[in-house]
Amino acid sequence: MVIVSTREFRDKQKKYLDLAEEERVLIKRGKKYINLFVTNEPDDNFVNETWIKEFLSIPEEYRCNPFEISPSGDLFWADKRNIELVREGERQIKEGKFTRITSDEEFKNFFDSL
C-alpha cells in the first residue's frame, strides 16, 4: 500500500494512476483518505476488509447481495432476515395494521401503553 499527499499525487498523477493498477494507492487529504480504485466497469463497487468480515459473519443461509437493493452495499440488506422484516412491515401497513400518531400527546399515550 502506498500513501501519498495531494501535492505529490498532483505532481505525479500518471505514476500513481499506473501504480493503482498493481497495488493499493491512497491519497491523504487532511485527515481523510481517498482510495484509487481501478476497474473495467463503472458500476463496480469498492468494499473494504471490514465490510467483508461483517458480511461473512452473517450465517450463509441468510446472506444475499446487498448491492441489488442498496447502491452503497449497506450490510443491513445483506441479511435475508432483515429484508423479510421490512417486507412484513410493508404488508402490515397495506393491511392497515399500524397506529398513526399525529401529536406529542398521542405518542406519549402510545409509549406509556407499551
pLDDT value, residue 24: 87
**Residue 9 pLDDT grade (very low, low, confident, very high; cuts 50, 70, 90):** very high
pLDDT value, residue 1: 87
- The percent of residues in the chain predicted with pLDDT above 70, rounded, is 98
Domains of the chain, first to last: 1-38 (3.40.1620), 48-114 (no CATH)
Section 1-7 average pLDDT: 93
pLDDT value, residue 37: 81
Q: Are 92 and 98 in contact (CB under 8 A)?
A: yes
CA 46 centroid distance within chain: 10
**Residue 111 pLDDT grade (very low, low, confident, very high; cuts 50, 70, 90):** confident
| Nearest residue to 67 (alpha-carbon basis) of 56, 58, 75 | 75
